[in-house]
Amino acid sequence: MGNLSTFKFFILSGLQDSGVYKPLYFLLVFVLYILIIIVNLTLIFIVTVDRSLHEPMYIFICSLCANGLYGTVGFYPKLLLDLQSDIHIISYSWCMIQTYVIYSSALCEMTILTVMCYDRYVAICRPLQYHNIVTPRAVLKLLVLAWSYPLLSAAIGTLLTSRIPICGSHIYKLFCDNASMVIWDGSVDLPIGVRNALAIQFLILPPLLNPFIYGLQLPRIRKQ
């Protein structure tokens, strides 16, 4: 038999430079996470209890908010625990679960936004036929598609990564370290904390801003 390498734990190095600022980072992350939970649950609650808002557009917005909560639960609790600890490690199995949750959430957001675009297209371009096209059954099919395809795709991707742990972990590390370079030219000179923040901005901005952009600014929801 040839040599076989197995991984049981990963050492996380992104928080090593936090130093004396750890309590401040913990407070900021905690407040941000609580705010994300509050704004998303508020919008979901409003749409759920108000029967006049039981329309496709508002149902899709609720799905977008639910996906935001789903994605952040795979990231923020672990980050808060790491900010309270001096040893930053994660087991291989939990790393795979966290990877699956985060990336399936990102894929779900794209598909849900696509479904929302289709809904608005029909409402604007074919208003007289809207209720015949976007029926409750069609809404259910669109929601199932918006969730099942990303979840299945992320499951396949995570499974493939788990079969090639060395390559998979390097790809993940490469993405995290260089995602900021895609956004900012010359960001290689930025501190690691700034680069990490840019790399995970899709877990910071969308879950917080989506309820305001797509929901709370709508007159009918804002009235409630």
* Res 91 pLDDT > 90: no
Q: In the beta sheet, which residues pair with residue 10?
A: 90
Which range has the top average pLDDT, 23-27, 159-163, 180-184, 204-208?
Answer: 23-27
In the predicted model, is pLDDT for residue 103 greater than 80?
A: yes
Could you report the per-residue pLDDT of 57-83, keeping only the tens digit for each? 999 999 999 999 999 998 898 888 888
pLDDT digits (tens, 9 = 90+) for 204-216: 778 888 888 877 7
Residue 90 in contact with residue 172, Cβ under 8 Å? no
Average pLDDT for 143-171: 67
The terminus-to-terminus CA distance of the chain in angstroms comes to 67
Domains of the chain, start order = 19-179+187-223 (1.20.1070.10)
The pTM (predicted TM-score) of the whole model is 0.76
* Cα–Cα distance, 116 to 194 (Å, whole number): 33
Single-letter amino acid, residue 140: L
List own/partner pairs for 34-41 with CB under 8 A and 24 or more apart: 35/208, 36/68, 36/69, 36/72, 36/76, 36/207, 36/208, 37/69, 37/72, 39/208, 39/211, 39/212, 39/216, 40/65, 40/66, 40/68, 40/69, 40/207, 40/210, 40/211, 41/65, 41/69
Predicted local confidence at residue 197, as pLDDT: 66
